Amino acid sequence: MAELATIHLHPTAPLARRVLLPGDPGRALALAQTLLHEPRMFNHNRGLWGYTGAAADGELLTIQATGMGGPSAAIVLTELVALGARAAVRVGTCGALAPGLALGDLVVAAEAICSDGTSRALGARERAAADAQLTAALSGAAPEARTGSVVSVDLFYEARPGAGERDQALAIEMEAASLFALGNTLAIPVGCVLAVSDTFDDRGARSRIDERALLAAAERMGRAAITALGA
């Protein structure tokens, strides 16, 4: 197999058919240590750490960081599918748009409003849908989560969703639309569960979650995703 851009498989650590996709490499490590039995690093190319081990259900699971933004996430998922991945769940962070969402709350993304460039380049139009069965399983595994639309954008600090997007989306993030569009193209189920890491007041001032609360939310996301992937 030709060398791939981001994923260099370690010879003693296999890639699982089921994959969790956090953005942050450090969160990938933390989730692997918490959710996997005897995790083994199978990729560290370009600082995108990936680990494989047995999940609580006894089946192999890979946790692979995607980095930030749609372009990086699309490259990673494309290569994982080429190497044998057959289902993926993004376990990432988001900024709250809907009233009532607080730091640490979970959001299951049923679809993404495509305000980014990558999903459009992949053929998506105004919206890209998550896999319906996987989304239902995620909602069942995390009944406390709110399920609905999110908006995917290319910018982080400068992101300014329009009034229509604020009315239609629960949260704002950067990768879901690209992953959904790619999943639809490659015909593999892709889902997404997010933890609220940022909230905004009426003037747009941002409040950020602390690391301990974010790790706790990430563990809840990871356990829900494992349950959904095994459903």
Phi-psi region of 17 (alpha: psi -120 to 50; beta: other; left: phi over 0): alpha
The bridge status of strand 146-153 relative to strand 18-21 is unpaired
Contact 133, 194 (CB under 8 A): no
Q: Give the C-alpha separation, 170 to 215, whole Å.
A: 21
198 annotated active-site: yes
Looking at this protein, which amino acid is placed at residue 183?
G
Closest to 177 measured CA to CA, from 79, 100, 94, 82: 94
Q: Give the C-alpha separation, 187 to 16, whole Å.
A: 17
Q: Which is catalytic among the residues 198, 201, 202, 210?
A: 198
Q: Which helix (H) or strand (E) holds 85?
A: none
R_g (Cα) of the chain, nearest Å? 16
What amino acid positions are annotated as catalytic residues? 198
